[in-house]
Amino acid sequence: MKKQKIIAIYGKGGIGKSSTASNVAAACAEAGKKVMIIGCDPKSDSSITLFGGRRIPTILDLLRDGVNINEEDVVFEGFAGVKCVEAGGPEPGIGCAGRGIIVSIQKLKSISGDLLKEQDLIIYDVPGDIVCGGFVAPVRKGFVNEAYVLTSGEYMPLYAANNICKGLSKIGMPLSGIICNSRNASREEEIVTKFAEEIGSQLMAFIPKRQVVQDCEREGYSVMEKAPESDIADIYRKLGKAILENNNKVTSGSLSDERLRELTN
Amino acid sequence: MTGKEISIIHPRPSSIVAALYTLRDLNVDVAILHGPPGCSFKHARLLEEDGIHVVTTALDESGFVFGGHDRLVELINKSVELFNPKAIGVVGTCASMIIGEEMHEAVLEANPDVPVLEVEVHAGYHNNTKGVLFALESALDAGIIDHKEFERQEYLLKKATDVEKKFGAASKEYLAPSRGDVKYKVAKRVLQLLKEGKKGLVIMNAKKETGYMFADITLAVNEVAAALGKKENLINMANIDPSLGLPRVRQHAEYIMRDLKAHGVEMHEIIGGMDEYPVAGEMVSELIKEKYSDFDFAVITGVPHAIPMEHIRNMELISVTNGPRQVLPLKELGHEHVLVEIDLHPKTLGVSEIVESEFGATLREVAKET
């Protein structure tokens, strides 16, 4: 039996985790893989571009209504057959989003155990900052076996990425690669490649900044659906393939603040 | 999809506590509560009477903020050192579960030489039987119980929950606690019934160790009947089958049977094991339908509301519960006299013989007077 890939993509808020996750998911599904994307952000917008801009009901919303939840109530098939789930969560400033992630992952496991096992690739789209225990639930309770960190070549996103790498090694989660989502910073590919090497990992892909990604998202679609012929669609296809074939796992190192400054200057 | 459960506003039994009691039934020596020092205090204290050590990681404000992993590892090690246990339970609480503590990682790190049952539980469930179920699942994983016993327990828990929802303390949004009828008056009534030569059923349908006190009522009714020369008018039933349930539960049945025998009480019908109180009522109902439908009265102790009303409706019912919130539902069902053995549970922990009940004592005294 081939090994199942269960991955999580980490990175600074707003760096493009959800759009990378949904495009990679769509690309792998197009290539004939069974793919599931599990959105763990309380904003529940991970899968929105796979449904033409529509939102799907979230696990926590249904739990709050006190109803018995079945698989068909929370697992929806989006573009290219990607199975999509949104954990959901409270509004900002209320309740406990971390507990929400724990509860929804446990619920999903109890109602969709078989479906989860069937997938070739499961992508957990997690919030940018792992601010409390609940945010590690995908790793600990969802059996994530590969973690990727998304960053640009700018200082702040790299700083966040470096912190995340520190965190990952602290919780014993190996790092499988760094993905660069370009923001047109100078020497960006060089900087991120260097960063990846110095922490002992590898650069999986360099995703150039393209207006078409924004345009598709504004309309509520992934690039894979709305602009499948674009160069960026091909890059997502390559990244998907690289992730599916990747066997590299390291206990991530991290850089000192000084070194990080040096690298980005 | 089904609708919401009713929202019950009186405090309800805790799933954390239910998990602790289950660990005790599984003969776990030390239960570690991973949470604040006051969590489940009263029951944790009582359980020590029953031979299980309960300790706590005593999470404080810092623990909530920074997590209690190290503290839990230390406490597992310390517990091994202090108590030399054969099996350890690690039990979650609201606080530790909300902050996402991974007790499993602490257990792996401490890695003691004895089995550890991890119970990820908090008190926020509608039914406290969830805590029992989680503890049993853990025991199943650890190979302490087999699949057959697990399924049996799971079935009983479901039935117990149903009984509580239909006829018990979970049947209404709010139930006021009550001490029930005056024991002196009811004792007099029982004596009168016996004197008049009425035929009576003495049914104990008790939950596990609570039987140590409810059995005293069986004993007392039989004693006063014997003194009046009316013993043959009584039929005794009890759920004390010693071959059913977890080891500790079987032992309770054995001890109670031993004591009843020693006092010359004949047990006419065994209606199940001591964990079968939610289902033994059905058997009682069948037995009455077949053999005892012409009886005049019934003294029912333990979980009287688990006995269907169908075949006892025409009898005068004297029921004894240990739940102050059970009085009202029993009265509504048609139980004429309802008595409460207050604080029964604390008195039945850590004992291995029948202990005196208030109603039993009252009955004996009233019998002396007349």
Q: What is the pLDDT of residues B142-201, one digit of tens each?
A: 999 999 999 999 999 999 999 999 999 999 999 999 999 999 999 999 999 999 999 999
Q: Do A67 and B2 touch (CB under 8 A)?
A: yes
Tell me whether residues A133 and B101 touch, CB distance under 8 A. Answer: yes
**What's the pLDDT band for A259 if we cut at 50, 70, 90?**
very high
- pLDDT at A52 (0 to 100): 95
Q: Quick one: closest CA in B to A171, which residue? A: B105
Running DSSP on this structure, what letter comes out for residue B31? E
Q: Does A70 touch chain B (CB under 8 A)?
A: yes
- pLDDT on residue B4: 60
User: In percent, how much of chain A has pLDDT > 70?
Assistant: 99
pLDDT of residue A225 exceeding 70, the answer is yes
At A32, is the pLDDT very low, low, confident or very high (cuts 50, 70, 90)?
A: very high
Asked if A39 has any chain B CB less than 8 Å from its own CB, the reply is no
Alpha-carbon distance of B25 to A249, in angstroms, equals: 45
Which pLDDT belongs to residue A137?
Answer: 85
Nearest CA of chain B to the CA of A70: how many Å?
8
Chain A's closest residue to B95, CA to CA, is: A99
The verdict on a CB contact (< 8 Å) between B5 and A66 is yes
Single pTM value for the model: 0.87
Q: Considering CB atoms only, which of A68, A98, A135 is closest to B1?
A: A68
Question: Which residues of chain B fall short of a pLDDT of 50?
Answer: 1-3
Strand, helix or coil for residue B13: coil
Is the pLDDT at A1 greater than 70? The verdict is no
Q: Is A177 on the interface with B (CB under 8 A)?
A: no
Give the closest of B5, B100, B105 to A134, CB-based.
B100
Cβ-based contacts of B67 with chain A (< 8 Å): 133
| Residues in chain A within 8 Å Cβ distance of B108 | none
- pLDDT tens track for A33-42: 999 999 998 8
Q: List, by residue number, the catalytic residues of A.
A: 12, 17, 43, 129
pLDDT of res. B1: 39
Q: Which of residues 140-159 of A touch B (CB under 8 A)?
A: 140
| Statement: residue A2 has pLDDT above 70 | no
Computed over every residue of chain A, the mean pLDDT equals 93
Would you say residue A168 has pLDDT above 80? yes
Stretch among A94-98, A254-258, B54-58 having the lowest mean pLDDT: A94-98
pLDDT of residue B2: 45
Interchain CB distance below 8 Å, A70 and B1: yes
* CB–CB contact A67 B100 (8 Å): no
pLDDT band per the 50, 70, 90 thresholds, residue A141: confident
Contact B200, B233 (CB under 8 A): yes
Contact A133 B1 (CB under 8 A): no
